[in-house]
Structure 1
Amino acid sequence: MVVFFVKRLVSSLLVVLVSSLIMYVLVDIAIDPLADLRTSTAVNKAQQIANRTAQLRLDDPVILRYLDWLKGASGCLVGSCDLGTNWRTNQQVTSLLSGAVTTTIQLVAVATVLSIVLGVMVGIVSALRQYSGFDYSITFLSFLLYSLPVFWVAVLAKVFLAIDLNNFLAVPDPRLSWTVVAVVALFAGLVVSSALAGQGRRRLRNFAIAAVATAALLTYLNLSNWFKTPSIGIALIAVSSVGWAFVMTILSTGLRNRRALYSALSVAALGVVLWLPMLYVWIYARSAGILGWPLVIGLFLVGLAVSAGIGLAWGGPDRAQSARTAALTAVPVSMMLFVDRLLQSWGAYNSNQAIKGRPIATLGRATPNLVGDFWIQTIDVLTHLMLPTATLILISFAAYTRYSRASMLEVMNADYIRTARSKGLTERTVIMRHAFRNALLPLASIVPIDIITLLGGAVLTETVFGWFGMGRLFVVSLGDNQQYPVMAYIIIVGILAVIANVVADLIYAVLDPRIRVAA
């Protein structure tokens, strides 16, 4: 392992150095810092050109300028980072990067995680239901979304997810029409019945259950005036927590493992019991001045630890399985408690003078002049993330669905899958324990690279929605003939790309024990 890391570190440093030199020369050729002065009609035009030439050292050989830049960039290794300045504003490039990196991470983090999770899940189900109506529909939808241009999807999101939705919420009594309720219920029934296996009678039963449950939920939202004053409430939290307990048990161990099921149900019950006390915890945290993301993340980690302890206490044939199932159940349960508290501040946010009753934002990462506590600011961030996140998910979701479907189909036809079935293992065990893990192997080389690509900046998405992240920084700096911000962008993306390849190798080794990184 040590030899592997040393070899990769040395080779990666060489790659970054050579690529940075090549890109420095190419950027120097591509930009012209004197372009605005060449067309100037000022009397002292020649003096201005001479001053800027001396300021930017344009008469020095490009190699010397590169070595000076590399000396400052190398200082980042020892904490004295100097990536140059923006010669128009005299602003340090490091300060520009800090804001751009934070914006890009905030923009792409949720979209990346959701697109990977949803894409893999839908792709796996599509492969298991090969040649079914669900499989054909997902295949068509994936190819359709994959071929759509990002800017067009972004514009459609602005129209339908922002303007039309804001108009709907601005109505004094917003309610879904019964036609919409019926159509959505029928669609949900068709999706569930086609995704779940079974003969005609079982499919019909699944269709009826999904359609009735969807219609009941939408009817409840209408009757409770949910679209005006949204909330989850203790009743929905209780029902949803029990449902999550069964779902996580099915995915983790199967319902035959009663200890794991009881562990998950115990965590669900604990979440329901903690609903009211947590409201007082948030009030105390606000009065004490400690309400913020560090507290939220800390409470989440404590919840995971307590849930794992509950699983260990229940024990069973495999205590680790019970602990894992309990911890998995704690994730959606704790998220529901957090979202419920967020929604309790929705009315105050929507009626804020800066929002003016139109909460779904179309531009920027925050509402100017918005004053509010942690909950108001968090809702504001989420509403600004809604449109760009939906756009990125739709585009990335299609690719991950196709990758995971093709990989799962290949794995399901392998000899060891037939051997596992011949041993009498349940279908859940065959899929989750043997097929699913190996189906993730091809994704191990794709996901890290895609994450790094997104961290490099979603240029079109950032442009359409007015987010100044890494992509916009690169485009604006290149158009403004700023060499140092462009080089900072290039070096960061290059280093992240090298790291992504190393991470992909390590993920391969974790998913497939036959692979050794020192080989």
Structure 2
Amino acid sequence: MLQFILRRIAISAVILVLGSALMYFATINSGDPLQDLRETRAENREQLIEARIRNMNLDMPWWQRYLTWLTGAGKCLVLQCDLGTTRDGANVNSLLLGAAGASLRLVALSVALAIIIGITLGVLSAIRQYSGFDYSITFLAFLFFSLPVFWAAVLLKDFGAIRFNNWMADPQLTTVAMGVIAIVFGLLIASVLGGDIRRQALTFLVTAGVVFGAVFWFDRIGWWRQPALGLPLIIVGGLAALAFFLVLTVGLQHRRILYAGLGTLAVGVVSYFLVQPLIQDPSWGLVLLLALVSAAVGAAIGWFFGGFEKKTSMVVNIGTALAFGFLVFMDQLLRNWAGFLDVAPQGRPIGTIGDARIPSERLEGNFWIEIYNWGVQLILPTIVLTLISIAGYSRYTRASMLETINQDYIRTARSKGLSDRVVYTKHALRNALIPITTIVAFDFAALLGGAVITETIFGWKGLGAIFRDGLNTVDPGPVMAYYLVAGGAAVLMNMLADIAYAFLDPRIRR
């Protein structure tokens, strides 16, 4: 395995060097970097031209300039990058760090959401092949996959930001809107739970009725401007998380682990009141500490009450404890939404252009409002990137899962009397994820280097912006910095995919 990795690194390095030479040559021959100065009537025209020639090393032959850049880029291996300067004398290293940070904020969150949601939908779609749920997911996947990015982004800016901000000034829902929301949730839950026509109809009616009543109540109490989950909804969410982890592991019939999970929720309810003074204005260190404590408490309860399946019980209880803690976190975050509306410019919380935040002196040092200040700019571009990625993940996962569950070893597992839950989660899913690993790796690299359109529409100063600006000004410095990150990410993620294969399928290690 080590020899394989070293060989791949060597081959990838050669490819990166050859690609960088081609990129550099294409960039410097795409126009004249001095054209704007030659056409200017400024009195210091000659001095400006001399300064740009000095900044871009235009007095050297192109191959010498490329070797200078390659030498500086090679120093990145020892964390001493020297990527030169832009045509205006700005340091490319500093420019790249700021742009990469902005792009990573977008890509990391969108990829994580797309992986979780897309793979989950793909697995459920494969298990319920040719059902109403399967047809719905297939239709939505093809719809999102075929959406032009620029069109989806502009549409989302209109409805998700401009009209939403207008609505937040006096948020009220009509009866028709409440009915539409109830019908959508009813159809969604009914299709997910499945069953015969009678059971789906009953599920739809109950879900639609409950959702309509909840939305009606929220609208009457002004929940949209002063939201909160409250302890009852947190408990319901905790029970749902417990049921989810039980279904994935041992099933709802395992009483011992079920009672242990209920005990974890009981401890969570008591802790909800104890931690309230601590989370009014915490720090990230305190939030992380509370998460670790929650996981430790869940693990301890799972160990002591797990019986002969202590490991599985610990997994279920840790997941339940972290889910309960996350709901408490979200409850406190929602309670501070009204405070953020007070400091948002003109009461319009969702920004449409750029990733600029409200000055810190207006935030009064509140931890929760600072999260809104950091995160609201991410919402719209993240939704665009996530929806497009979800479409691909769900389709690939469905195809891989269908191929896997038709294999002989799956039929053998069923013939042994194993339940569908065990067959799907412990036998089929792990093998079905092997081809998905490649998609995940390349999707992350592609989003990191290819979110140019999304960043342009939303005005983000990320890697896409410096790449576009470098091309427009015939400046190879920013373009090559973009190539270094995008190409390096592609190589690194491909390597991680190869290593992940060995963990998913031990046969590949040989």
Q: TM-score, normalised by structure 2?
A: 0.93
Q: Are the counterparts in 1 of residues 132 and 191 from structure 2 also a CA contact under 8 Å?
A: yes
Paired with 1:52 and 1:461, the residues of 2 have a C-alpha distance of: 31
Under a length normalisation based on structure 1, what TM-score does the superposition of the two structures give? 0.92
Relative to structure 1, the CA distance from residue 457 to residue 268 in structure 2 (aligned partners, 3 Å threshold; closer, same or farther) is farther
1:48-104 CA distance string (max 9 Å, x none): 54564355332322222222222222222223221111231x221111111111111
CA distance in 1, matches of 2:54, 2:100: 31
Q: Which moved more, 1:486-495 or 1:7-16?
A: 7-16
1:119-518 equivalent positions in 2, closer than 5 A: 119-171=118-170, 174-283=171-280, 286=281, 291-352=282-343, 354-369=344-359, 371-372=362-363, 373-516=366-509
**Cα distance in 2 for residues equivalent to 1:272 and 1:220:** 24
What is the distance in 2 between the residues matched to 1:263 and 1:46?
A: 79
Cα gap change, 1:384/1:48 in structure 2, threshold over 3 Å: closer, same or farther?
closer
Q: Give 3-state SS (helix, strand or coil) of 1:280's partner.
A: coil
Distance 1:380 1:321 in 2: 39
Q: Structure 1 residues 71-80 or 110-119, which shifts more?
A: 71-80
Query: Higher mean Cα deviation, 39-48 or 476-485?
Result: 39-48
Maintained 8 Å contact 1:238/1:269? no
Give yes or no for contact 1:194–1:203 (8 Å, CA) kept in 2: yes
Higher alpha-carbon deviation: 355-364 or 118-127: 355-364
For residue 141 of structure 1, what is the amino acid of its counterpart? L
Counting matched residue pairs gives: 507
Separation in 2, partners of 1:100, 1:10: 28
User: For 1:515, what is the secondary structure of its paired residue?
Assistant: helix
Residues 13, 164 of structure 1: alpha-carbon distance in 2 compared, 3 angstrom cutoff: same
Q: Measure, in 1, the Cα distance between the counterparts of 2:228 and 2:496.
A: 40
Does structure 2 conserve the Cα–Cα contact (< 8 Å) formed by 1:129 and 1:195? no
1:310-362 per-residue CA deviation (whole Å, 9 max, x = no partner) reads 2122222321111111122233222111111112221111112x432222222
Per the alignment, residue 5 of structure 1 pairs with: 5
1:194 counterpart letter in structure 2: S
| Percent identity for Structure 1 against Structure 2 | 44
How far did residue 217 of structure 1 move?
2.6
Give the partner amino acid of 1:274.
S
Q: Is the 8 A contact 1:263 1:323 kept in 2?
A: no
1:118 corresponds to which residue? 117
Deviates more, 1:431-440 or 1:179-188: 179-188
| Residue identity opposite 1:136 in structure 2 | Y
**Is the 8 Å Cα contact of residues 341 and 349 (structure 2) preserved in structure 1?**
yes
SS in 1 for 2:29: helix
In structure 2, the CA distance between the partners of 1:54 and 1:231, relative to structure 1 (3 Å rule), is closer
How far apart, in 1, do the equivalents of 2:50 and 2:394 lie?
Answer: 57
- Report SS of the residue matched to 1:366: coil
Shift of 1:507: 1.5
Q: How far did residue 229 of structure 1 move?
A: 0.7
Contact 2:56–2:85 under 8 Å retained in 1: no
Segments of structure 1 that go 5 or more residues without pairing to the other structure are none
Tell me, yes or no, if the aligned pair for 2:56 and 2:86 is still in contact at 8 Å: no
Distance 1:187 1:48 in 2: 62
**Equivalent residue for 2:37?**
37
Of 132-141 and 259-268, more deviation after overlay is shown by: 259-268
Corresponding letter in the other structure for 1:384: Q
Q: Which runs of 5+ in 2 are unaligned?
A: none
Query: How far does the alpha carbon of each residue in 1:369-414 deviate from its partner, in whole angstroms, 9 at most, with x for none?
Result: 3521221111122222221111112211111111111111111221
Alpha-carbon distance in structure 2 between the residues aligned to 1:50 and 1:342 = 55
Question: Would the aligned equivalents of 1:53 and 1:59 in 2 still touch at CA under 8 Å?
Answer: yes
Contact conserved, 1:457 with 1:472, CA < 8 A, in 2? no
Deviates more, 1:201-210 or 1:51-60: 51-60
Larger mean CA deviation between 7-16 and 423-432 belongs to 7-16
1:388/1:465 contact within 8 Å kept = yes
Question: Judging changes above 3 Å, is the alpha-carbon distance between structure 1 residues 55 and 364 closer, same or farther for their aligned structure 2 residues?
Answer: closer
Q: What is the alpha-carbon distance in structure 2 between the residues aligned to residue 44 and residue 355 of structure 1?
A: 42
Greater shift after overlay, 411-420 or 202-211?
202-211
SS of the equivalent of 1:238 reads helix
- Say whether the 8 Å CA contact 1:248–1:329 is kept in structure 2: yes
Q: Secondary structure at the match of 1:451?
A: helix
Residue 59 of structure 1 is matched in structure 2 by: 59
Bigger mean CA offset, 204-213 vs 372-381: 204-213
Equivalents in 1 of 2:395, 2:157: separation in Å?
27
Distance 1:206 1:508, change over 3 A: same
- Residues in 2 aligned to 1:274 and 1:220: alpha-carbon distance in whole angstroms: 28
**Structure 2 residue 83 is matched with structure 1 residue 98:** no
Q: Distance in 2 between matches of 1:38 and 1:280?
A: 66
Residues 253 and 325 in structure 1, CA contact (< 8 A), matched pair in contact too: no
Indicate the SS of the match to 1:367: coil
| Cα distance change on mapping 1:320 and 1:343 into 2, 3 Å | same
Provide, for residues 452-483 of structure 1, a one-character-per-residue CA deviation record: whole Å limited to 9, x for no partner: 11122511111111111111111112212221
Q: Is residue 366–residue 380 contact of structure 1 (8 Å, CA) maintained in 2?
A: no
Q: Aligned partner of 1:229: which letter?
A: Q
Structure 1 pair 195/238, CA: closer, same or farther in 2 (3 Å)?
A: closer
Q: Is the 8 A contact 1:448 1:500 kept in 2?
A: yes
DSSP 3-state at the match of 1:356: helix
Are the equivalent residues in 2 in contact too, given 1:349–1:355 (CA < 8 A)? no
AA partner of residue 111 (structure 1)? S
Tell me the distance in 1 between the aligned counterparts of 2:217 and 2:260. Answer: 30
Amino acid across the alignment from 1:105: L
More off after superposition, 156-165 vs 48-57: 48-57
1:154 to 1:492, Cα distance in 2 relative to 1, 3 A = same
